Amino acid sequence: MILAIDTSTSTLGIAIADKGKIIGLTQLDTGHNHSVALLPQLQALLSGCGITMQQLAGLAVTVGPGSFTGLRIGIATAQALAQATNLPLLAVGTPAAMARAIGTTADAYICPVFDARRNEVYTSLFRAGQQLLPDLAISPAALAEKLAKFEGAPIIICGDGIASCREQLSATLGERLQVADAANARFLAAGAAILGEVMLAEGRICPPEELLPRYLRLSEAEEKRLQQNLPLEDTANERK
C-alpha cells in the first residue's frame, strides 16, 4: 500500500492505494493553508481505513510544479514521516499525478493545466502513460502552439487552470479540445498514490535528503530582487 500526499494546489489531498485501487481518500479545500490540516487529516484517514503506518510500503508526495508554499509543506511532512518510519519516498510530478488520475488511454492526449498566475499555466502532455512534453510554466498562447503539433487524437485538458487557458486552446485546437470535469482536479492525491505504486515497483525511490520541489520559475519576490541586483537568499521563505 502507498500513502500519497498532495499539497500542490489549494486542495489538500491524501490517498491510499493498494494494487492499483484507491482504498482511502480525503480532500479538503484549505486555501493553501495545508500546514494545520495535513497531519490530522492523514491520521484520520489511516484510522478510518484501519491502517497503520507500519502496513504501508511507501510514501508518495507531489513535488510540483504548483503552489510554492504548499509544496514545501507536503515535502517537509513526507520527509519527516519517511525518516521516522524508514518508508521509501516516491517523488511524483504534479502533472503526472493529474494525468494518472484521468487515465492512461491511448485514445487521447492528456494535458494537465494548473493556474500558475501571471498569465501562465503549469502543464505537460501525456498519452498512454508516456510523458511527451516536459513540465512547463507557459502562457496559454504558447501552449496552444505546442499542442497543435500533436496530431491524430483529441486533447483532454484537466486541472484547476482550465479557465485561464480554455478559450485560447479552443481557438487553436477546435473540436480536438475536450475539457475534463473540473472536479477531477481534486483527485491529484489518488493519481499520485497509484503512480507511486508503479514507481516503487520500478525502484524509483527518492532519498529524503534529495526530495526537492520543482518550482520551474522564480517567485515574484525573487524576480524583484534580481531586478534590483539583490541576493536571492532572503526570499527563500517568501515563495507563495
What is the percent of the chain where pLDDT is above 90? 80
Q: Domains, the chain, ranges and CATH?
A: 2-94+186-235 (3.30.420.40), 103-184 (3.30.420.40)
Neighbour tally for 102: CB within 10 Å: 21
- Report the predicted TM-score, pTM, of the whole model to 2 decimal places: 0.89
Q: Which residue has the cell 520527509?
A: 79
Neighbour tally for 130: CB within 10 Å: 10
> Could you tell me the end-to-end alpha-carbon distance of the chain, in angstroms, rounded to an integer?
32
Please give the angle made by the CA atoms of 205, 48 and 9, to the nearest 5 degrees: 55
Q: pLDDT tens, 112-152?
A: 999 998 899 999 999 999 999 999 999 999 999 999 999 98
87 — phi, psi (to 5°)?
-80, 145
Strands 121-127 and 109-115: antiparallel
* pLDDT band at residue 222 under the 50/70/90 scheme: very low
Please give the angle made by the CA atoms of 165, 213 and 187, to the nearest 5 degrees: 55
Neighbour tally for 36: CB within 10 Å: 11
Give, in order, the Cα–Cα distances in Å from 169 to each of 37, 49, 88, 147, 184: 36, 41, 39, 8, 19
* pLDDT band at residue 30 under the 50/70/90 scheme: confident
- Give bridge partners of residue 5 from the DSSP assignment: 14, 61
Contact present, 87 and 59 (Cβ < 8 Å): yes
Q: pLDDT tens, 54-76?
A: 999 999 999 999 999 999 999 99
Exposure of 217 in the CB half-sphere (CA atoms within 13 A): 18
What is the percent of the chain where pLDDT is above 70? 89
Write down the pLDDT at residue 198: 97
Contact present, 195 and 212 (Cβ < 8 Å): no
- Give bridge partners of residue 24 from the DSSP assignment: 16
